[in-house]
């Protein structure tokens, strides 16, 4: 990194000095560009290319017929590189925009639809060929950008897409999945295995048996409200040129933030196909009444020194540490709070604007309904709050309520400088109360530490977890915790770490055997977990297949394991039918009783804890709406013997004495299983009891 950088007739010999200039109000005022036309703006008569590259001496656009680079070219690095690549057809210089320092642009006449392009960015010490950071389409593997006519990519019925999720956020029930996992199983009954289009297939069944639904039809029956898709923007670690190979990656390695991933499309060579097919997927889910959440990774990029960000504006998009008087190292280097080689400087104005524009683009162009921010603890609070404000503004126009949530942590300390503050667990009070965070406290209280294989939580025999479960029930609404329940994602499992079933298998028997059999005690533990997640305050979330005992055979970090480990094994919906039905029933119960879904802090405070000791937690919760039971009672018994619980009511509320049992250790649903009188409930060992007062609110 011993280069000299020039900017505004200044010379920067040290990266820390350059970074300090980027952080200065002087730079921000001079260079921040508020236009929304960066990238390639297409019309049939001309295409305008616009680049933000302060300090560049010259920028040119290189046009290509092919999106694919030769194998040799795609491996090129640094000095041996010849730019542009030999198959460049035209090289057109961009002009400096006199009104907007740092901006370069050119309009190229003619119809450039589906033309591939790159930029050449020239600086005193280097010439770099790079894809367009702002590209909306790209060629195979994302090395070259593509001019696209987005109106060509709209599926039939796109303008009539009428899906609207409305407030509150706590009405959502989120099911997290991965495009490939969803359909790749040979028993899935889906044709487009591993592709976006699998979500568009209707009426699919297990082994095409015509009886057991799979895919989108299955989701409708399950009753979840949103599918959360692990990364679907263009990522690096699956070679799109080799679709015939068994390749797998979760996809947390972005290269083009505004293009869909090509390997999930039927033709990654043609840049418009992946856009069209992703839109078809969104539309099909919307038609099934299901919202779509994108898992977005703006906290780092896959590449660092040779990323498009770094080639376009060196060191602007990344935080740096070290240098004189800072840290241990003499030399400045990329900060690495992501654990993936870098971290993005979201606090800098053009990166913040980029992130906002990118979110707006996915929301408006792709009709996406929510966003899950990976390692949100690396993003600054102001940026996150501006995302909330912007999506609320869009929602005012289209009637939608967008979900926003994220991981309130980083892989290691964020290199964010004051006054910027990270959107992490310690700063919930500064974060919008309608941005939710994953509660690792809830997760670990339920099933035990995510990192210690055999350490149990409440459901699998852990002792002393009762108070932590009470916090979970209240959606972590407490001093120093969430301000409202809309700020909490209540969950027991996600793609990270062991699946819930594996964790139970590892803790209950210790040897981790029998991942495939629905053994009774484990089923009981799993049901307990589901009942806690689906009755607690906050936004319930679960990993796809949690409801049918999904196993990854004790592999926690399966980010590049093959599909046999990661795929949803649809036969388990039959083998674990009792468990799947139980989730379905709990979802119905949650939907039927509004206090479970209160997005304020009121219900969290109104809950009356009846028991929180000896592996039993029980509470009552008053109804709110006309027609609802005046009260529900929810009891969890994680002990190995049946227990009695004496119900209590919140102060000033009469305790009902006639109850319908909606859920017990066997089944759950809105149809009463049986009725009981009195205020003493017997809860079966490792069992659940959910009772609704017979009396309704009139
Ligand atoms: Ca890719």
Question: So what's the pLDDT on residue 124?
Answer: 86
Task: Name the 3-class secondary structure at 436.
Answer: strand
Only one residue has tokens 């906050």, namely 538
**Tokens (6 digits) for 328:** 């241990």
Residues 100-142: tens digit of each pLDDT = 999 999 999 999 999 999 999 999 878 999 999 999 999 999 9
CA of 173 to the centre of ligand 1 (A): 29
> In the Cβ-directed half-sphere of 515, how many Cα atoms lie within 13 Å?
17
Query: Is the CA virtual torsion 533, 539, 542, 547 positive or negative?
Result: positive
Cβ neighbours for 426, distance < 8 A, ≥ 6 positions apart: none
Average pLDDT over all residues of the chain: 95
Q: Ligand 1 center to residue 93 CA distance, Å?
A: 29
Residues near 523 by Cβ (< 8 Å), separated by ≥ 6? 549, 576, 578, 579
Average pLDDT over residues 16-30: 95
Distance 138 CA to ligand 1 centre (A): 10
Rounded alpha-carbon distances, angstroms, from residue 306 to 49, 130, 297, 674: 22, 9, 18, 65
Catalytic residue ranges: 374, 407
* Residue 508 in this model has a pLDDT that exceeds 90: no
| pTM of the complete model beyond 0.75 | yes
Span 324-344, mean pLDDT? 81
| Of residues 469, 403, 405, the one with CA closest to residue 442 | 469
* Strands, E assignment, 154-297: 174-177, 226-229, 233-235, 254-260, 291-296
- State the Cα–Cα distance between residues 217 and 236, nearest whole angstrom: 31
Q: What integer is the mean pLDDT of 299-303? A: 98
Interatomic CA distance for residues 320 and 164, integer angstroms:
42
Q: How far is the CA of 236 from the centre of ligand 1 (A)?
A: 5
Contact 379, 348 (CB under 8 A): no
- Collect all residues with Cβ–Cβ distance below 8 Å to 633 and sequence separation of at least 6: 610, 618, 619, 620, 621, 647, 659, 681, 689, 690, 691
Token pair recorded at residue 190: 């889906």
Query: Taking 70 as the threshold, does the pLDDT of residue 377 lie above it?
Result: yes
What is the gyration radius of the CA atoms in the chain, in angstroms? 27
In angstroms, what is the span from residue 119 Cα to ligand 1's centroid?
19
pLDDT of residue 394: 98
Tell how far the Cα of 263 is from the centroid of ligand 1, in angstroms. Answer: 6
Residue 80 has a pLDDT of 53
Confidence band (pLDDT; 50, 70, 90) for 75?
A: low
The 3-state DSSP composition of the chain as helix, strand, coil percent (nearest 5) reads 30, 20, 50
Distance, CA 140 to ligand 1 centroid (Å)? 7
Contact call for residues 228 and 540 (beta carbons, < 8 A):
no
pLDDT of the residue at 332? 83
Residue 98 pLDDT > 70: yes
Q: What distance in angstroms lies between residue 555's CA and the mean position of ligand 1's atoms? A: 25
Q: Are 444 and 467 in contact (CB under 8 A)?
A: no
Dihedral of the CA atoms 432, 437, 441, 443 (nearest 10)?
A: 150
CA of 227 to the centre of ligand 1 (A): 21
């Amino acid at each position: 990194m011993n280069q000299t950088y020039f900017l505004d007739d200044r010379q920067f010999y040290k990266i820390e000095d350059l970074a300090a200039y980027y952080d200065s109000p002087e730079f921000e005022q001079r260079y921040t560009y508020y236009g929304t036309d960066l990238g390639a703006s297409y019309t049939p008569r001309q295409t305008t290319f616009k680049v933000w590259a302060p300090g560049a001496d010259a920028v040119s656009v290189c046009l290509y017929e092919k999106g694919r680079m030769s194998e040799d070219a795609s491996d090129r690095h640094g000095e041996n590189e010849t730019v542009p690549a030999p198959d460049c057809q035209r090289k057109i210089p961009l002009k400096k925009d006199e009104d907007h320092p740092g901006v370069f642009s050119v309009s190229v006449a003619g119809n450039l639809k589906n033309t591939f392009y790159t930029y050449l960015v020239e600086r005193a010490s280097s010439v770099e060929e790079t894809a367009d950071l702002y590209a909306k389409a790209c060629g195979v593997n994302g090395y070259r950008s593509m001019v696209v006519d987005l109106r060509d990519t709209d599926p039939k019925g796109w303008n009539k897409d009428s899906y609207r999720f409305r407030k509150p956020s706590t009405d959502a029930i989120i099911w997290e999945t991965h495009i490939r996992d969803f359909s790749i199983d040979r028993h899935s009954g889906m044709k487009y295995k591993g592709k976006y289009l699998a979500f568009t297939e209707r009426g699919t069944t297990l082994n095409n048996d015509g009886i057991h639904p799979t895919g989108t039809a299955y989701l409708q029956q399950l009753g979840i409200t949103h599918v959360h898709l692990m990364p679907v923007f263009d990522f690096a670690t699956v070679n799109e040129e080799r679709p015939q190979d068994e390749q797998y990656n979760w996809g947390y390695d972005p290269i083009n933030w505004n293009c869909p991933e090509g390997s999930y499309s039927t033709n990654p060579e043609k840049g418009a196909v992946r856009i069209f097919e992703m839109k078809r997927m969104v539309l099909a889910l919307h038609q099934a009444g299901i919202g779509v959440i994108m898992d977005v990774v703006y906290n780092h990029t896959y590449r660092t020194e040779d990323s498009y960000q770094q080639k376009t504006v060196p060191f602007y998009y990344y935080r740096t540490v070290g240098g004189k008087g800072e840290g241990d190292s003499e030399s400045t280097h990329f900060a690495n709070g992501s654990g993936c080689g870098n971290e993005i400087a979201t606090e800098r104005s053009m990166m913040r604007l980029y992130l906002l524009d990118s979110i707006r683009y996915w929301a408006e162009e792709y009709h996406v309904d929510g966003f899950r921010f990976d390692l949100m603890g690396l993003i600054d609070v102001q940026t996150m709050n501006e995302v909330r404000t912007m999506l609320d503004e869009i929602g005012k126009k289209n009637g939608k309520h967008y979900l926003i949530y994220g991981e309130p942590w980083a892989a290691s300390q964020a290199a964010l400088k004051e006054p910027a503050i990270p959107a992490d667990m310690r700063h919930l009070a500064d974060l919008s109360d309608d941005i939710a965070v994953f509660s690792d406290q809830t997760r670990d209280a339920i099933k035990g530490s995510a990192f210690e294989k055999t350490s149990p939580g409440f459901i699998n025999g852990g002792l002393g977890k009762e108070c932590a479960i009470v916090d979970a029930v209240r959606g972590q609404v407490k001093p120093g915790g969430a301000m409202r329940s809309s700020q909490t994602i209540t969950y027991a499992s996600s793609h990270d770490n062991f699946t819930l079933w594996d964790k139970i298998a590892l803790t209950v028997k210790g040897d981790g055997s029998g991942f495939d059999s629905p053994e009774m005690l484990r089923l009981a533990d799993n049901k307990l977990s589901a009942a806690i997640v689906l009755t607690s305050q906050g936004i319930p979330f679960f990993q796809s297949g949690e409801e049918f005992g999904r196993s990854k055979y004790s592999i926690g970090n399966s980010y590049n394991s093959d599909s046999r480990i990661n795929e949803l094994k649809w036969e388990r919906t039959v083998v674990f039918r009792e468990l799947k039905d139980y989730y379905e029933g709990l979802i119905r119960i949650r939907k039927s009783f509004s206090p479970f879904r209160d997005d304020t802090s009121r219900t969290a405070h109104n809950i009356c804890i009846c028991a929180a000791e000896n592996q039993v937690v029980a509470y009552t919760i008053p109804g709110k709406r006309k027609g609802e039971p005046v009260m529900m009672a929810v009891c969890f018994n994680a002990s190995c013997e049946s227990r009695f619980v004496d119900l209590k009511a919140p102060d000033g509320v009469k305790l009902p004495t006639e109850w319908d049992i909606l859920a017990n250790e066997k089944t759950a649903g809105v149809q009463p299983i049986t009725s009981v009188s009195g205020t003493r409930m017997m809860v079966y060992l490792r069992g659940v009891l959910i009772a609704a007062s017979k009396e309704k609110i009139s």
